[in-house]
A = this chain, B = another copy of it.
Amino acid sequence: MKDHHSKANRARVLADLNALRAIGAYKTGVHRPTFSEPHIHSLQWLLQKLPEAELAGEIDGIGNVLGTSAKAGPKLLAGSHLESQNFAGWLDGPLGVIYALEAARVINPDPSAKGAVEVASWCDEEGHFGQFLGSRSYVSDVTEQEIDAARDRTNARPMREALQAAGFAGRPRRTAARGRHLGYLEAHIEQGRTLEGANLAVGVVTSIVGIWQYRITFTGEQNHAGTTRMKDRKDAGLAAARLCVAIDGGFPSACGPRTVWTTGRITLDPGAPSIIPGRAEMLFQVRDDSPAIVERLEACLRELAAETGTASGCGVEVERIRTGKPAMMDEKFQRTIEEAASTFADGKSVRMPSGAGHDAQVLATIMPAGMLFVPSIDGISHHWNENTTDADIVRGADVFVETCRLLLAS
């Protein structure tokens, strides 16, 4: 059912991933935040590779790398991102970019393969400056005002300044030509343990969960930590701690089977050892692919916060600062990935939702989209220890290239 031409060049895939790993290397991972010198270097590296796939490349005005084919026939868009979280893993992003590049290298120059794969590296998927700025720009969902206001969350550097320094300022931002692509395909490491735990090779993504985010603020009474009796205190920090514990106790009975929630940051104000915190702020997040479940959990959260505030003598405000919308992956893309996996991965695939956000959820707003996962060792993610075996990487590449071929041939 397949011909050998559709197979990936395994050595080339591994060599390219390792070449990217060397750009901004940190321990066994990389430190390649958006618009850092290594990140810009990696974009230029990709730009120089695109001609190998008979693609005309450019870096646009928001830092997206786009490779365009002049070949006749259907076009499939494929890609991921090249920047990393701070001090994080080598495959989160680059895996999908190199798979896309490899599929383009295999399919585009082959006159017997129908159509072409076009390659994209979306800027700032990791959210140093905003949320999916690169892919959202491509689907015409980013205003100039949003870019004006964007700042690096690590060092507050304005995005405009970073674009200027990178040499991208003043370039046009490219947007999708509607109807040009039959869809978008992205590969990624799983960032979880589902595949590894079940000895599977490929995850066929059914949906990308929505992310709901909250800022919870307790207001108590800032006072002296030595002279204020325990009974007289209104300790906002203790209130925040109580809410974390209350959520941990209350959410399990109200959540869905795959719901996750996280308090990623707690800030006590003023944060001095001898002062009772008068104010405490928590950044809290819930992810699920069912808005109904999250609605129930939000009600639960508000109730627990109110109870905790009352019990701690503190005022409390629960503010939703991000409302997630789950993205459904295209059914035909899912079937095609399964078909490719049956050929190249002994059928060791499973359908699963993605708990992490990906550019595919943005592209899915304007075209059919699909995603496939390869296993991650111990599920470690957003850490320089993140890794995947070479065997899983090259098997995933074969499945990816074959999926592209099948989609273009159909």
Contact = CB atoms under 8 A, between A and B. Distances in A.
Interface of A: 85-86, 127, 153, 190-193, 209, 211, 213, 222-230, 232, 235, 237-238, 240-242, 244-245, 248, 252, 258-266, 268, 270-278, 283, 285, 287, 354-357, 379-383
A240 B237 contact: no
A260 B225 contact: yes
Contacts of A259: 230
Chain copies in the assembly? 2
A223 B383 contact: yes
B260 A265 contact: no
A285 B274 contact: yes
A224 B273 contact: no
B222 A382 contact: yes
A227 to B, nearest CB: 4
A258 B260 CA distance: 42
Residue of A244, A271, A277 with most chain B CB atoms under a 10 A cut-off: A244
Given A224-B191, A275-B382, A268 B270 contact: no
Contact of A383 (B153, B190, B225, B278): B278
A97 B379 CA distance: 61
B379 A232 contact: yes
Nearest to A356: B226
Given A241-B241, A241-B245, A275-B85, A226 B357 contact: yes
Contacts of A127: 274
Given A225-B287, A274-B382, 16 more contacts: A192-B224, A192-B228, A193-B232, A213-B273, A222-B382, A225-B262, A226-B355, A227-B356, A228-B381, A237-B263, A240-B266, A241-B244, A242-B245, A264-B275, A265-B271, A275-B382
A381 B224 contact: yes
A17 to B, nearest CB: 20
Nearest to A128: B272
29 contacts: A85-B275, A86-B270, A127-B274, A153-B272, A190-B227, A191-B227, A211-B226, A211-B274, A223-B381, A224-B355, A225-B260, A225-B264, A226-B260, A226-B355, A227-B260, A227-B356, A230-B259, A235-B262, A237-B263, A237-B264, A237-B266, A240-B241, A242-B244, A262-B273, A262-B276, A265-B272, A273-B285, A275-B382, A278-B383
Nearest to A242: B245
A234 B8 CA distance: 38
Nearest to A312: B248
Nearest to A266: B266
A279 to B, nearest CB: 12
Contacts of A241: 240-242, 244-245, 263, 266
A274 B222 CA distance: 29
Nearest to A92: B224
B264 A266 contact: no
A190 B232 CA distance: 15
Contacts of A244: 237-238, 241-242
A319 to B, nearest CB: 13
